Structure 1
Amino acid sequence: MSGRIPRQFIDELLVRVDIVDLIDSHVPLKKTGSNFVARCPFHTEKTPSFSVNRNRQMYHCFGCGVSGNAISFLMDYSHLGFVEAVEDLAAFVGVDVPREDGGESDEVVKESASHLYAVLEEVTAFYAEQLRGAEGQKAVEYLKGRGVTGEVARDFGLGYAPQGWDVLVSRFDRKALVDAGMLVVRDDGKVYDRFRGRLMFPIRDKRKRVIGFGGRVLDDSLPKYLNSPETPVFSKSKELYGLCELLQKKNRPERILVVEGYMDVIALAQYGVSNAVAALGTATSKTQIDLLFRFAAELVFCFDGDIAGRQAAWKATEAALPCLRDGRQIKIMLLPQGHDPDSLIRAEGVPGFLERINGANVLSDYFFESVGGSLDLSTIEGRSQLMTAARPQLEKVPSGFFKDMMWRRLNDMVGGGALEVPKNQSTLRPRFEKNVTTKVGQKRPSLLRRVLALLIQHPHLEHLVSQRDLEWGELSFSGKELLEDVLHVIALEKPENSAILLEAYRESSYEKAVKALAGMELDVPEGGEEAEFSGALTQLLRQSREDKLTELLAKEGREGLSIEEKQVLRMLLTQRI
């Protein structure tokens, strides 16, 4: 569906929804005082530390630190993108999502997409029925030969496409089949079934909708595998086979195994290894890797040990480098010659297969072995070739500790001192976080955080600031920029609650800091927020003026003051009396 979602609609949606009802429909909540609590759905814990506040329309976990509003919850819990989460939240409260610059055409697009999902679901059921019929027995025999049980075939929705050229077109809507990629249109306008005489693998998205198919021949004909073409609901470079089924088994897997084919995913699932997914007939893309990192912090790429498998492993490594932020890990697992995941797990058993996963090469080792393993690093020529091969790849890695250490390892390999780590690679924390935590032992950082937390959790307190005649320009303290920004956003947006304020900071440089402050525990009695905020703000301003006064008096005695500085000094001395 084209067109942007109006910001006003998102704010109205966050006002209309009750986050307690939303979360309780996914995670049962228990009322405790003014909040509702549960065991956190985002990490393993024995006692509840996940708290939901109805007044602020926010959730926060005091165990793992996660926090957010209703949209954030759906994004994290259901593994949805922002637009998908807004659509699901709108459906939860029973309203349609409007679009800017679209109007009626957007409704047509939405209706068309819904029609495609419907026909693909019907075709899936038809193929599953055919698998149980007489012609489908050869597919059943193939599955039995691979050790696939009826339960696994059912879980993955496996089916069979009959040999006929017009089986689908005689049963389902012709236009929808064409748009969904299930029919091939000839130059003369006639159509025929794309999939014939094949074992069929439905491809589902994260929302459990069938978006396309993969089909495998049951003889020696080519192509061995055939995939649905690109359609309005299916893009091969953005989806992964088996991801939907994986998430049904475990919402937050510790790691995800990326294999090469549909049958690899199914064969591993047959042995209880249910955390595998497969790319859809193309090289693993950055989009797919970023998608997987939304669900697990560790990915293991499992490829055949032949030349094609090694080439696929290197392409996956290149695609993964821009995704490797701190806290993420990738391993490369090359299988013994002549083995695929199915044959290897049969030969070595599940414990042996899992042991190979645990012992797989981390990406950093694999990367440097690949770019430098065949070079003579005792020579200038060899070191130069290593730098030429490695440097463009390392420049793709996002700034952080991992990138710094990769550069240092390259530096060590070329002899040390021969290569400087690029100066723009910083491992510093975000500016605000650094500012408010560096002055250990002083009262202001915690005082400032209290002022900010009260303001973010109770945006209506902004009127207490606007009522004061504040001279912000004269003051200087760490975190002042964020305080000014929050006040500006509240004055501009006029959010009804902190959930809407948090939404205003989505994808901004202050988002992490605002989220942390939104979940900060304040221990302020209900109804006492105004007095607490007013007192904390007064104390913050008083301390800031004292610091400024001390600074100016010291400068006056040391080197003298400018005319402007003398005016500020007189004003501060007057306020002190």
Structure 2
Amino acid sequence: MAGLIKREDIDEVRSRVKIDDVIGQQVTLKSAGVGSKKGLCPFHDERTPSFHVRSEVGLYHCFGCGESGDVFSFLQKIDHLTFTDAVERLAGQVGVELHYEDGQGPRREPQGKRQRLLDAHQVAQAYFAEQLASPEAAVGRQFLSDRGFSRDAAAQFGVGYAPRGWDSLLRHLRGRGFTEPELAASGLVSEGSRGLYDRFRGRLVWPIRDVTGDTIGFGARRLYDDDKGPKYLNTPDTPLYRKNQVLYGIDLAKREIGKRKQIVVVEGYTDVMACHLAGVTTAVATCGTAFGAEHIKVARRMLSDDTAYRGEVIFTFDGDEAGRKAALRAFGEDQRFVAQTFVAVEHNGLDPCELRQAHGDAAVVELVKSRRPLFEFAIASTLAQVDLDTVEGRVAALRAAAPVVAGIRDNALRPGYARFLAGKIGIPVEDVLRAVHSASRRGGTEPSRAPVSEQGSSADPVLEVERQALQVALQYPLVVPPAQFDALTGEVFRSPGHHAVHDAIRAAGGIAQAHKDPANWAKNVLGAAPDVIAGLVSELAVRPLPMSENDTTRYCRAILLKLFQLDITRVSADLHGRLQRLDAVADADEAGEVLSQLQQLEERRRAFRSE
């Protein structure tokens, strides 16, 4: 096994990688002040973006859950990598050749486990795509053709074919150097009493990619009548693939989702293909499971879904009973979104793929445009189950639909949908409102919650100066005069946490060291800080300062001046107290020394003010 990666190589990788570019592949980031970006935290569910990234210092911090770190720790946490795996992945992206301690040179084997699994999937994807052109795959090509997909379309989405043999892919991967433990962990093969065999056999396969574009699994469609397996067979949960977190097509749709502030959720792989080819390039699909809470987290990050209106989520469902139930399940998850949610159902029950076949691309675009609010659809679907032509039916409809309205957690929307329900069933609005209120009291709704916001700044103006001065020291060290700042003692900081951060700055070499190596300064302070304050250091290193871009230097110097003046005031008060305790005659020499120090302090104060 190779030794540790050399420190200079790690620093070289860090210097070449922009942390906001890496995090931006997982989180939609937007400007949050000078040099800072923010988005919805990928580590906890939130409605207001509190996750900040500061490229200049190379750190991120979430003011909601406290997660923080650099680009390597982000990959470690988001993709469950070791530190070595994270460095190796980024080194490969930016072209840095890594060297290892103990003279062992670049590590070739064993590579990071996750990277090996990704490599196996890349090899499998290329193999399946190649097999689609084989004579055996004629049935797969016909399947695609029958649904209006050309060979170019299949290539665009990476569609391939898994041969019917029991070990075709297995033998291919073994030939490329992958071991049995690696193959077993990949989900590409299964294990029986006689050993390993191909999981996907005699099927069309779609590569399932994560938001960065890496293939992490496959979805496979049955083609032969003698195949007794499920119609669709997906990769099982593996270290790479979690079906409740994966959205098929997210790699293709992510930019348009962020640009248009729209995400269209369809039911299958061919529906995603049909939508994208028709021009609805924000379409994604779940992979063999219902659209749930983890999918919503992914979607919200792509939408940058926060307290303001950020766009729309459109669910497309088949027009049959299963589709109706799916829509009602979506209603249960809907209110995790701030974005408006809609349902688009084709009146003849056609899915997007069938609709494109029957009526062309324009019909798919029109389906999305014809969306209805999800609340309205949920109410209408409930009413469709009863007979509204009778008094008994209308009363039953009220009893069935009132809990649906009560389940709308937005208090501003609930009265409007109560009126909508009243109009549908012909019952006075007052009666409907009473029924909704009664359903709410029985537990049909949860109390409205204010969105979680970032931590507010301190109400104490002195602590605010301390905090902002430390932000300046961490974020803009080149603006900070080393002689003055490094001469400060921790006593200037009233807050124990601020005192501890100052100690970490001194332990990292002070501002004088920051001027020698500004690129790694904040990370060096983080490394010198005890674990108990590491989160505070990260927070101060990324929290935006309330200043404009053309005002950075002046603002930073003004904050530092306030801190220096606080220190002068503190020292001056101590000296005046000491002077009062001295005897003018017996302690004349000491009193003279104190007076001299006070004079020097006053000169410093005038110099700071002049500057």
Q: Partner amino acid for 2:161?
A: Y
Q: Secondary structure at the match of 1:236?
A: coil
Q: Distance in 2 between matches of 1:481 and 1:359?
A: 58
Q: Distance in 2 between matches of 1:313 and 1:255?
A: 18
Q: Counterpart in 2 of 1:123?
A: 124
Q: Counterpart in 2 of 1:311?
A: 325
How many residues in Structure 1 have an aligned counterpart in Structure 2?
477
8 Å contact kept, 1:156–1:245: no
Q: Counterpart in 1 of 2:66?
A: none
8 Å contact kept, 1:60–1:66: yes
Q: Distance in 2 between matches of 1:411 and 1:513?
A: 49
- 2:551 maps to 1:523: yes
- 2:287 maps to 1:280: yes
Deviations 1:81-115 (A, max 9, x none): 376795444654858899xxxxxxxx999644433
8 Å contact kept, 2:376–2:417: no
Query: Which residue, 274, 287, 295 being the options, matches 1:267?
Result: 274
Give the structure-2-normalised TM-score: 0.60
Deviations 1:294-318 (A, max 9, x none): 2224432211121111222233333
- 2:207 maps to 1:202: yes
How far is the alpha carbon of 1:338 from its aligned partner? 2.7
- 2:371 maps to 1:360: yes
Q: Counterpart in 2 of 1:340?
A: 351
Q: Counterpart in 2 of 1:179?
A: 185
How far is the alpha carbon of 1:209 from its aligned partner? 2.9
Mark the CA change 1:489 to 1:293 in structure 2 (over 3 Å): closer, same or farther.
farther
How far is the alpha carbon of 1:508 from its aligned partner? 7.6
8 Å contact kept, 1:448–1:540: no
- 2:472 maps to 1:454: yes
Q: Distance in 1 between matches of 2:261 and 2:376?
A: 21
Give the structure-1-normalised TM-score: 0.63
How far is the alpha carbon of 1:335 from its aligned partner? 3.2
Q: Distance in 1 between matches of 2:285 and 2:9?
A: 36
Q: Secondary structure at the match of 1:425?
A: coil
How far is the alpha carbon of 1:280 from its aligned partner? 1.0
Q: Counterpart in 2 of 1:243?
A: 250
How far is the alpha carbon of 1:148 from its aligned partner? 1.0
Q: Secondary structure at the match of 1:168?
A: helix
Name the stretch that deviates more: 455-464 or 260-269. 455-464
8 Å contact kept, 1:371–1:386: no
Mark the CA change 1:466 to 1:200 in structure 2 (over 3 Å): closer, same or farther.
same
8 Å contact kept, 2:19–2:59: no
How far is the alpha carbon of 1:275 from its aligned partner? 2.1
8 Å contact kept, 1:202–1:214: yes
8 Å contact kept, 1:130–1:162: yes
8 Å contact kept, 2:490–2:499: no
Unaligned segments of structure 2, at least 5 residues: 23-27, 39-48, 61-69, 101-107, 305-311, 387-391, 420-431, 515-519, 571-600, 603-611
Q: Counterpart in 1 of 2:608?
A: none
Q: Counterpart in 2 of 1:536?
A: 562
Q: Secondary structure at the match of 1:295?
A: helix
- 2:163 maps to 1:162: yes
Mark the CA change 1:18 to 1:351 in structure 2 (over 3 Å): closer, same or farther.
same
8 Å contact kept, 1:130–1:136: yes
8 Å contact kept, 2:405–2:418: no
Q: Counterpart in 2 of 1:214?
A: 219
Q: Secondary structure at the match of 1:160?
A: strand
Q: Secondary structure at the match of 1:294?
A: helix
What is the root-mean-square deviation of aligned Cα atoms in Å? 5.6
Q: Partner amino acid for 1:203?
A: I
Q: Counterpart in 1 of 2:303?
A: 296
Q: Secondary structure at the match of 2:545?
A: helix
Unaligned segments of structure 1, at least 5 residues: 1-5, 28-40, 44-48, 53-57, 99-106, 395-401, 437-442, 474-479, 545-574
Q: Distance in 2 between matches of 1:506 and 1:281?
A: 41
Q: Distance in 2 between matches of 1:368 and 1:453?
A: 51
Q: Secondary structure at the match of 1:235?
A: coil
How far is the alpha carbon of 1:276 from its aligned partner? 1.5
How far is the alpha carbon of 1:385 from its aligned partner? 8.5
Mark the CA change 1:359 to 1:67 in structure 2 (over 3 Å): closer, same or farther.
farther
Q: Secondary structure at the match of 2:233?
A: strand
Mark the CA change 1:430 to 1:239 in structure 2 (over 3 Å): closer, same or farther.
closer
8 Å contact kept, 2:465–2:559: no
8 Å contact kept, 1:60–1:519: no
8 Å contact kept, 2:211–2:250: yes
Q: Distance in 2 between matches of 1:364 and 1:506?
A: 45
- 2:447 maps to 1:426: no
Mark the CA change 1:481 to 1:159 in structure 2 (over 3 Å): closer, same or farther.
same
Q: Counterpart in 1 of 2:78?
A: 81
Q: Secondary structure at the match of 2:248?
A: coil
State the structure with bigger RCO (CA 8 A, min sep 6), 1 or 2: 2
Q: Distance in 2 between matches of 1:351 and 1:334?
A: 15
Name the stretch that deviates more: 253-262 or 419-428. 419-428
How far is the alpha carbon of 1:455 from its aligned partner? 4.0
Matched ranges for 1:370-385 at <5 A: none
Mark the CA change 1:407 to 1:23 in structure 2 (over 3 Å): closer, same or farther.
same
How far is the alpha carbon of 1:172 from its aligned partner? 3.2
Q: Partner amino acid for 1:231?
A: T
8 Å contact kept, 1:450–1:536: no
8 Å contact kept, 1:331–1:363: yes
Mark the CA change 1:258 to 1:97 in structure 2 (over 3 Å): closer, same or farther.
farther
Q: Secondary structure at the match of 2:289?
A: coil
8 Å contact kept, 2:379–2:401: no
Q: Secondary structure at the match of 1:147?
A: coil
Q: Distance in 1 between matches of 2:172 and 2:487?
A: 68
- 2:259 maps to 1:231: no
Q: Distance in 2 between matches of 1:521 and 1:82?
A: 34
8 Å contact kept, 2:271–2:353: yes
Q: Counterpart in 1 of 2:488?
A: 467
Q: Counterpart in 1 of 2:423?
A: none
Q: Counterpart in 2 of 1:137?
A: 138
How far is the alpha carbon of 1:426 from its aligned partner? 3.4
Q: Distance in 1 between matches of 2:450 and 2:506?
A: 34
Q: Which has the higher helix share?
A: 2
Deviations 1:471-520 (A, max 9, x none): 877xxxxxx89967865875788896346779999988995995222886
8 Å contact kept, 2:131–2:162: yes
Deviations 1:379-412 (A, max 9, x none): 899679845x777x67xxxxxxx75646787999
Mark the CA change 1:456 to 1:380 in structure 2 (over 3 Å): closer, same or farther.
farther
- 2:26 maps to 1:22: no
